[in-house]
Amino acid sequence: MSRQIQQLYAHHLSYPCPSYTDFDVQVKTPLSHRRWFRPQVEFFMDEINPFKPLPRDQAYPMLEWGMNWCIANHAHHLFIVHAGVIEKNGKVIMMPATQGSGKSTLTAAMMLSGWRLFSDELALLSLQSEEVLPLARPINIKNDAIDILKHHFSQAEFGDIAHDTLKGTVALMKPSQESVTSMHQSSPLHCIVFPKYKAGSNASLSPLSAPEGFQRLIDNSFNYNVLGVEGFHKIADILQQTPCFEFEYSRFEDASETLENLVQNS
């Protein structure tokens, strides 16, 4: 696992670490007979074990999923949405979506096409401003999307492939150096796009009404129920000044062109 961390966090490791620690996390082998027979690993955060054990060859994906869990369940000074987040021209596009919609694949493809990666999983929105905070970490790619991205983008760099996980076949993709170099530079939210891959379709944007956008943001939020009234007002503030769209696409090139038009012409 340490080898994959060194590979996929190589750009991060060239920067000095802060003097504080947000979470004390560990992935370790249980002290039982399973150390020798079909060995497993467990994830701990401050001695809390929130997940069932996984096979040892899934240790690195478990670490990434565990870190996402730490943020989604504890960073309640932010409004957190399950979304891919990309930036260009100083403007952020947030792409909320349910699991299986191709959100992470589209986010990775846009990063490999010159966009700055904020996150493929967690949109971190300030409660005090319009800013979105970057979280440039390895991108979780699943199943057929691994080979699709390798075929389209020769510069894509993956860690080891983990098979038979709860999410299928999984590999983590290294974030771009530009995304990591700029990871402390927040940018304002420009628009919200709800993506959906549809084979053979042309790239198309369809405006969503504020009530439709409101419900979808609630459905994709990790901590709306924790924030309560504060979360309600945050979504209301977002939708008063941020357009929402449904986005259907099949080709990465068309998707990139369509999204670039959003940050250039509006």
37-68 per-position pLDDT tens digit? 788 999 999 889 999 999 999 999 999 999 99
Does 18 have pLDDT greater than 90? no
Does 6 have pLDDT greater than 70? yes
Which position has the higher pLDDT, 98 or 186?
186
Please, which pLDDT band fits residue 265 given cuts at 50, 70 and 90? low
What is the average pLDDT across 102-117? 96
Instruction: Summarize pLDDT for 124-173 with one digit per residue, the tens.
Output: 999 999 999 999 999 999 999 999 999 999 999 999 999 999 899 999 99
Does 14 have pLDDT greater than 80? no
Does 19 have pLDDT greater than 70? no
Tell me, what's the pLDDT at 93?
98
User: Residue 31: beta bridge partners?
Assistant: none
Interatomic CA distance for residues 235 and 79, integer angstroms: 9
Domain segments of the chain as ranges? 79-137+175-264
Please, which pLDDT band fits residue 33 given cuts at 50, 70 and 90? low
CA end-to-end distance (rounded Å), the chain: 44
Model's pTM, two decimal places?
Answer: 0.93
Considering the domain 79-137+175-264 in this protein, what is its CATH number?
3.90.228.20
Interatomic CA distance for residues 145 and 252, integer angstroms: 12
User: Residue 248: beta bridge partners?
Assistant: 196, 204
Please, which pLDDT band fits residue 220 given cuts at 50, 70 and 90? very high
SS (H, E, C) the chain: CHHHHHHHCHHHHCCCCCCCCCCCEEEECCCCHHHCCCCEEEEEECCECCCCCEEHHHHHHHHHHHHHHHHHHHCCCEEEEEEEEEEECCEEEEEECCCCCCHHHHHHHHHHCCCEEEECCEEEEECCCCEEECCCCCEEEECHHHHHHHHHCCCCCECCCEEEECCEEEEEECCCHHHHHCCCCCEEEEEEEEEEECCCCCCEEEEECHHHHHHHHHHHECCHHHHCHHHHHHHHHHHHHCCEEEEEECCHHHHHHHHHHHHHCC
Percent of the chain topping pLDDT 90: 83
Tell me, what's the pLDDT at 100?
72
Tell me, what's the pLDDT at 131?
97
Do the Cβ atoms of 189 and 242 come closer than 8 Å? yes
Tell me, what's the pLDDT at 101?
79
Strands 244-249 and 187-197: parallel
Instruction: Summarize pLDDT for 183-198 with one digit per residue, the tens.
Output: 999 999 999 999 999 8
Residue 18 C-beta-side C-alpha neighbours within 13 Å: 5
Does 21 have pLDDT greater than 70? no
Please, which pLDDT band fits residue 1 given cuts at 50, 70 and 90? confident
Does 17 have pLDDT greater than 70? no
In the numeric block, the tokens 């941020």 are attached to: 242
Does 20 have pLDDT greater than 70? no
Do the Cβ atoms of 121 and 89 come closer than 8 Å? no
Do the Cβ atoms of 46 and 23 come closer than 8 Å? yes
